[in-house]
A and B are shown apart, each in its own frame.
Chain A
Amino acid sequence: MAEQGLEGSLHRELGLTDEEYERICSILDRKPNHLELAMFSVMWSEHCSYKSSRIHLKRFPTEAPWVLVGPGEGAGVVDVGDGIGAAIRIESHNHPSAIEPYQGAATGAGGILRDIFSMGARPIALMDPLRFGPLDDPRSRWIAEGVVSGISGYGNSVGVPTVGGETVFDECYTGNPLVNVLCLGVLPVERLVLGRAEGVGNLAVLLGSTTGRDGIGGVSVLASAGFSDEASDADKRPSVQVGDPFEEKRLIEACLELLDSNLAAGVQDLGGAGITCATAETAAKGGAGMDVMIAPIPQREPGMQPFEVMTSESQERMLAIVEPGNLEAVLAIAERWEIRANVIGIVTDTGRLRVLDEANGEVLADVPAKALEQDAPLYDRPRSAPADLDQRQADSANSLDAPSDPGADLIAMLSDTSWVSSQYDHMLFLNTVEGPGGDAAVLRLKHPSTGLDTGRGLALTTDGNHLWGSVDPYRGGVMTVAESVMNLAVVGARPLALVNCLNFGNPEHPEVMWQLSESIDGLSEALLAFGIPCVGGNVSLYNESRGTDIDPTAVIGLLGVVDALESPPPGVRLVEGSRLLLLGHTDPELSGSAWAALQGHRGRGRLPEVDLEAVASVADAVRDLVIAGLVQGAHDVSSGGTAVALAEMAVRSGVGFTAARLADHSDLFAESSGRAVLCIDPEKLREVLDLLEERGIEHSRIGVAGGNRMSVKGQFDLGLDEVTASWRDHLPDALGSGTVQG
């Protein structure tokens, strides 16, 4: 084995520090060669090893009796009853999407699908929380259009419906969009598989696409550094992989057939860090070793170096661990689905990951599998609150002038995102009871093997609020969980499990590490209070552009269950003649609100107080009222406050409202947690009020639905048609203004 010739330069080029290089030398008890160094560099990258965040992630509560698989595997899995497990995961593909929006977003969807079916689950839904720079920036529009086309092109073709998500435009994402993708799958509990290489002599079979030079160093060069200037960012474009949804579709069907037929002891997806990661992880987790051969790996072009083959992130590949006796059957299934299948490795008992040029050939690399997977350095990076925190907290948005025209501010905060969701198949599999545009998606729950309808439903929401995070990442985390819980309550669902995608700036900035740590503690406090386990997560760091970090953006996905799905949820709507109730306590604090941001006030003041016990009782009451069929329309109150909640219910249903008891702009636009607007049939009103009074739930009768005006006494009186047109046309008009490729 040739040792590294240019000591001290190569490891830095590969993104390793001098200390990390020393650590590798001490693990191997010699200097690593080029291939070994490349393998360590991808496995120890921030993206794969979570070296800056792992010590903080341990603080998430992760246990509950229904958790089958917690964080650390391909996906979290919870028992949802009737012998069905639900597998869920969320990931980011922020940096690839910044420089190659279509492929970046497409391969983000592809990667997370493989995580789900590698657990033995059939993917049944995608969600895509998206955040872009402002709509008046042509390059941000180019990114937004490309990302949406990429998700549409890949998700639709691969045959998994995209049932919801978020679309946010804000100046802090200029140059560094956030493209998060969540996937939900279902599996018969007995088919649950984990990526393990057990059984000496078992074969590692590489399934799917050829291995090319695309995506080399994607995790280390691209995902684990920020963006600087445009010229060098364009140079990074070849680090982005190219997706093929048809290959993925056949791979899904073939892998699920392998697992159905008990032909694979384990399957593992090839994502970041490619074959190195898949082989090291399966070997290390199975307590085994593996010999990997380069020659039988189908290569897309001649002349590829072993380090390229081992670190390529070519898409649509899976690794199956197969007993030799089952190989023939595995190859037959692969042939039926027209995917490649090649034996590229064998499980050993050495605990070492060895790379050979061919069977019994030259040993090109020889490292402990565990060292790659588990011995990455753990950093407790310096963290500190912003130096001007006290000063910022003293500047409350409540000292801003009251709006002269609250109606105009309201209209500025309304935007229909169906331009995005109409490009996604959101109905496939005949599950989608509530699709994009609702507070949470609601899916019929059918048994994945028999197809039998359980009569129950799964509910899913993704939420994040960077404006809250920039004021107070801790309480922002608490409020985000509270929002998700309320989103589930309005569709009649109770929460089961959470996944998170923590999008933050450069971890080498102490303020960013403080944000991350605070955010994790805030999320955890709320999870403990609601009794919700965290079953997985993803940390995306280095989200910065030209030295400026994004606002802290903790995105969460919350999975819930609807115990009896007999009719569709009430939905975000009003019904002519019905009564409007506002549930929950309004703290008039405006700092961190969308209204304050509209006035240019952001990142300052303090967020509203949150009483988690009160939030839980409101959510319980809302859920119970919805399940009892006493609610005709329901919407949680979050970004934009009560005014935006009412307005969205009106424009979605084409029914106006006349409201009162919203005395000032704080009542209209404050975003305190644990509130919902309900639309109630006058004949059911007494019953609803009795229940609320009995439970001591704070509530206010704020008006009546009906007519073609949207009016709040003393605040605004707007024509429904005019507001509807502005809401509907906002996004298409802005995106129709043309784009500029970065």
Chain B
Amino acid sequence: MATNVAVIRFPGTNCEFDVVEVVQQLGAQAQIVFHDEPSLGSADAVVIAGGFAHGDYLRPGAIARFSPVMEAVASFAQSGGPVVGICNGFQVLTEANLLPGALQKNAGLKFRCGFTELRVENSNSVLTSEAQVGDILSIPINHFEGNYTCSSETLAELQGEDRVLFRYVTNPNGSVDDIAGICNEGRNVVGLMPHPERACHDLLGSRDGIVLMSSLLRAAGLNAGVPN
């Protein structure tokens, strides 16, 4: 049976169908899970897609963390299941304390959409296992609040434990230490601001996202059968 990815949809999420399209393009199954669901069903991996969950009211992710589905996501993560938060999904994961730090408004105080170059810093995670350290990937960003920040202790921890997975080659938003994506201690929960699903097709200008999405599907495959 094909691996199955749950893609979380809050009111205001808008990248959920894009993620589904790419998951299917890579040969796996995907199902949309609405935010009021208390369960993830038979998911082997979870993607929290980009957008503006609950309108980003209060601040991005601040209300989404209270949606019923987030309890299921937390216990799925607890049990080692692969969880990836893309853009707004990263913001949700930090608000839900599944990842450390926070995303503040971009330096320059403008929304930014466009391709950026990312350097893969570590291949030990559910999103980077098939990438090589030092790979430069061309992947778009699309955010207003993508400026990653954290305490100096947290930063030291992230650096010391090799949990910074991606750095921007040219920092577009003021993120501390050029951080574009990180993982948790268990390396099964990953958050990143760039959108790998937007870089999986020749017609869209880059296929560099495929190595990341394939890594996730591999992790999902390994996780298949593990009870949720």
Contact = CB atoms under 8 A, between A and B. Distances in A.
Nearest to A161: B113
The 9 closest A-B pairs by CB, nearest first: A246-B55, A159-B14, A157-B52, A423-B111, A433-B203, A152-B111, A430-B18, A425-B142, A425-B113
A246 B113 contact: no
Contacts of B197: 430
Contacts of B204: 427, 430, 432-433
A451 B14 CA distance: 15
Given A157-B56, A423-B112, A568-B203, 19 more contacts: A153-B111, A156-B113, A156-B142, A159-B12, A246-B56, A249-B11, A336-B34, A421-B113, A422-B111, A425-B111, A427-B140, A427-B198, A427-B204, A428-B142, A430-B21, A430-B198, A432-B204, A444-B203, A451-B17
Interface in B54-100: 54-57
A418 B18 CA distance: 24
B15 interface: yes
B11 A428 contact: no
A268 B14 CA distance: 24
Interface string A410-433: 000000001001111111111011
Given A157-B56, A433-B203, A422 B21 contact: no
B199 to A, nearest CB: 9
Contacts of A423: 110-113
A565 interface: yes
Contacts of A426: 113
B77 to A, nearest CB: 26
B51 interface: yes
B1 to A, nearest CB: 22
A362 interface: no
Interface of A: 152-153, 156-157, 159, 244-247, 249-250, 253, 336-338, 418, 421-430, 432-433, 444, 451, 565, 567-568
A245 B57 CA distance: 11
B202 interface: yes
Contact of A246 (B12, B114, B195): B12
A337 B34 CA distance: 10
A390 B87 CA distance: 60
B205 interface: yes
Contact of A424 (B54, B57, B113): B113
Contacts of A253: 11
Max chain A Cβ within 10 angstroms of own Cβ: one of B34, B112, B113, B201: B113
A567 B203 contact: yes
A502 B110 CA distance: 31
Max chain B Cβ within 10 angstroms of own Cβ: one of A157, A421, A426: A157
A270 to B, nearest CB: 20
A249 B198 contact: no
A482 B92 CA distance: 49
A260 to B, nearest CB: 14
Contacts of A418: 114
Contacts of B110: 422-423
Interface in B170-228: 195, 197-198, 200-205
